[in-house]
Chain A
């Protein structure tokens, strides 16, 4: 299994902390205005969410892995519900690479693989160095085309 770039933890942690901050501030304001509780509630909520966010991020990073095998991309992920997906190359419809704002700050990219399936039709591999993302995108494109011998298996 190929691991994600370790800097992805920064990206995830960043978004977890932003969420915690927003919720904390909202709780603090609501607490002051509506319920007249002390000022400590907001920071406490933030602290709890932040700790949870850190634990979640570390575990998420520990679980995440993907592999480009001979016939398919396999992925393993999920902290609460563990998910192992197999995406055969012949089923890849197209491949995107994406860079969100926090990802750009950390110098990372994501690759999104689309299939024609009805559920889980798009699979995202986050936390890749841009050159690795490009390489994966190119490789998937090549493998997806290669595994189409005269295309009798265009399933849709």
Chain B
């Protein structure tokens, strides 16, 4: 019995030393393996969470139902009236788009994904999505919503991926401010949850609250140019540069559906 204990202890010590000496590449592969193990639990848990949160949403009193019915009826009438006018506009719009080639220049190839959950790490802002290498996702792909940039993929298993959010201190994004020549680097901070800090601006930038900030799309970078990043909340000059606090365009605390940008169309 004692021999068995000594052998077990020796195995434990060897395992500890081996794990401590692993390099980043091996650790990354191990992380993908762990994601694959967690994937069925996370996916089924996400489905359960969605159905549970749906229960409360669906329950209404008779009075609320009547109000909802009246609202929908009124909205239906308004939409039908609008729709007839919009058909003409749609035709014009399609024609103009074709002429300008707007779609060809600005659209991306997108893979829709559902958010399975926010990671519980306190100092890191990451989420898991239900798409992986099977769907064509790879590491360092931008993730967006219809409202703006969300983050980038950092770890990918066959059917689940991890996305680091732009509010994470490690997710740096080159950004430019609407209506100015100001460019800076945006990232999260440990002491503020959810806000972005846009640094390396000119001290004289004098940005105003409400100004929009977009990705700058530096060459060789991950994020394409022109994605909405956030809105300026405040600006202050520091010793060497200016810093703006941004409210992210996408609601990072309430993400349900996102799109992974796999390339340009």
Co-assembled chains A and B: no
Measured CB to CB, the residues of A under 8 A from B are none
Measured CB to CB, the residues of B under 8 A from A are none
